[in-house]
């Protein structure tokens, strides 16, 4: 990429190196909130599933209640499967993190050398493309999270609404609203910071051919291991590709 012409001021290199670190620090905090969310829900659901199985082992249950508890146990199992969305979201965030970590490192080096070194960045040349891509990935992560979280809440609410089940299992509707708020708050902040960065587009000049640009972007694409991510990538950069595998569990 030595023949790409670019001008990046020390001011921008300094600012962007720290801004991408800031974005990643927020993703780190998001991991924590997602983990809390996962632990609260999975611990409660595992406990209810264990109580249901224990009751089912007894031969004194009336048939109608036995049937209800069997259905409830199946619902708990399906909620535990649904909870895998945390893992999928985490992986998606890790990919955004990796791209922004590289950008932070490249801008740091550009700032440190302040035009005197021979370091040539790579991702920096397509920074705004990458910010746009991360922005879109984050918007979809937000949708995924709300969809999955709401589905789990719906399943739990339906079980709770059956008074026999809720009495037998001592099932309370536990409040995950704070976790949800924490996750959404950070996601919204991340999304708005990416929007801000996109508004600054062309804050520095890079003269790069379309071929060079796509070469870097296709390198980045290798990071995205999930079809849903690759689909966003393709849509963002107008690439037509048939994605044949179905490697994700969805909602």
Backbone phi, psi, residue 245, to 5°: -85, 155
The interface with other proteins within residues 22-41 (CB under 8 A) comprises 22, 25
Q: Which residues pair with 64 in a beta bridge?
A: none
- CA 128 to CA 131: how far, in whole Å? 5
The interface with other proteins within residues 111-140 (CB under 8 A) comprises 111, 114
**10 or 81: whose CB is closer to other proteins?**
10
Cα–chain-centroid distance for residue 63? Answer: 44
- Which residue among 180, 189, 226, 239 contacts other proteins (CB under 8 A)? 189
Close Cβ partners of 7 (under 8 Å, ≥ 6 residues apart): 204, 205
**112 or 168: whose CB is closer to other proteins?**
112
Q: Are residues 190 and 26 in contact, defined by beta-carbon separation less than 8 angstroms?
A: yes
The interface with other proteins within residues 78-117 (CB under 8 A) comprises 111, 114
Question: In the bound complex, what is the minimum distance in angstroms from residue 21's beta carbon to other proteins?
Answer: 6
Question: In the bound complex, what is the minimum distance in angstroms from residue 236's beta carbon to other proteins?
Answer: 23
- CA 208 to CA 210: how far, in whole Å? 7
Please report, for residues 27, 44, 117, 183, the alpha-carbon distance to residue 145 in angstroms, rounded to integers and kept in the order given: 15, 19, 44, 9
Q: Residue 243 interacts with other proteins (CB under 8 A)?
A: no
- CA 137 to CA 139: how far, in whole Å? 6
Question: In the bound complex, what is the minimum distance in angstroms from residue 12's beta carbon to other proteins?
Answer: 9
Q: Residue 18 interacts with other proteins (CB under 8 A)?
A: yes
**18 or 101: whose CB is closer to other proteins?**
18
Question: In the bound complex, what is the minimum distance in angstroms from residue 97's beta carbon to other proteins?
Answer: 14
Q: Which residues of the shown chain bind other proteins in the complex (CB under 8 A)?
A: 9-11, 14-15, 18-19, 21-22, 25, 111, 114, 189, 192-193, 196-197
């Amino acid at each position: 990429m030595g023949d790409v012409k670019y001008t990046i001021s020390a001011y921008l290199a300094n600012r962007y190196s720290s801004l991408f670190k800031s974005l990643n620090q927020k993703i780190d905090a998001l991991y924590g909130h997602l983990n809390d969310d996962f632990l609260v829900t999975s611990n409660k659901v595992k406990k209810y599933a264990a109580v249901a199985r224990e009751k089912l082992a007894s031969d004194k249950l009336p048939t109608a209640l036995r049937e209800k508890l069997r259905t409830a146990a199946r619902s708990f199992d399906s909620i535990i499967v649904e909870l895998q969305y945390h893992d999928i979201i985490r992986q998606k965030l890790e990919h955004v993190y990796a791209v922004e970590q590289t950008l932070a490192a490249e801008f740091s080096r550009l700032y440190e050398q302040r035009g005197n070194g021979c370091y040539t960045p790579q991702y920096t040349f397509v920074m705004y493309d990458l910010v746009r891509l991360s922005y879109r990935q984050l918007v979809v992560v937000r949708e995924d999270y709300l969809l999955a979280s709401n589905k789990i809440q719906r399943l739990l609410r339906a079980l709770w609404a059956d008074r026999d089940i809720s009495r037998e299992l001592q099932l309370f509707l536990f409040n995950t609203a704070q976790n949800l708020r924490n996750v959404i708050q950070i996601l919204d902040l991340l999304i708005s910071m990416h929007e801000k960065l996109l508004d600054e587009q062309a804050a520095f000049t890079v003269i790069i051919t379309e071929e060079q640009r796509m070469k870097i972007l296709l390198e980045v694409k290798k990071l995205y291991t999930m079809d849903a991510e690759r689909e966003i990538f393709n849509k963002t950069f107008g690439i037509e590709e048939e994605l044949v595998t179905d490697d994700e569990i969805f909602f």
